[in-house]
Structure 1
């Protein structure tokens, strides 16, 4: 289940930001330990400052958890330390959206399987501009059953907090273990109608009680699309 951080309390927000900066510092120090040849203590501050061409004050802040680098520096830092941006920020493989120092948001993006997720980094203002809620998750589309609404290579954003069909719309469903996007209509004679936009694929009608079975599950409500090459 994806974790969600709500930024509605100023004190809680400050504590979360402090915790994330501390987490980054722990991950950075662990990466430096693995790299070797970089001393601990004050010598590490000097080494990091020289390695990444920053002031010793900035290096000390990174290592203590009092600050984090600019977003644009993270790929360079990760490559130099033979690690990944995800490991520097999140540590062990995780899921969910995390706000780091109020400057960017980490969004999980996966393929047809949720087992292998990668991180998509968006500025908070980018989320607002796109009309996407915090806590959103993304999936890269590989099938053409929802063409032209979604084509292979497009990215669909969905809110995993929605686990019921509350109104007609487009939803992420898990059917017999596979993740699919379907346009859902409710209130029909047959209960629910799952629609593929691509006319080559048939639609399906089923009773609403089918959502209570082990074979079909509402994973989220689709809230946005990234149309690649269009």
Structure 2
């Protein structure tokens, strides 16, 4: 018996997936197989290991023996020379953007960056019930969200998800500047823009100031 259950669970949670979501990415009808593997009640076959590794965007070797490279927050990124190397039926391409503000938070322009888009397996996107048309990638500026995000990391945001959920991370604009911050909701409609790096102060936005904040979208993926 390989006893890989604990490592498999850690990789799944690092990818932000629940057991049913991972099972769906693997093409399995229920989560029972994942549960059995994580509890070391069953040893996965090679084909199942390959399906899990592909879904988690890691290697089979990492599942079996632990981390072998420095992964991103959601797994290893596979490089490619050009998008035509990848099957458009299997992949979703998300453009990287620069966010340009003009006349405050009311006007913005998503400027496509010159670098190649990010490629995600279509089933990875579908399992999270994301609309590819609402996805945009941005570069992280500064270290205010370390260790969750580092300067130069890339985040993918869902521009269709702008109603703040407590504790989630969003791209927002406030006081004519855009940030990536964790949002906490307070009684009375107050919002706290929280920096994970304790060196930075929180920004408190009262209900009366709500007109001055704009939420661009929730962070649904991050990578370095």
The TM-score, its normalising length taken from structure 1, stands at: 0.48
Which one has a bigger Cα radius of gyration? 1
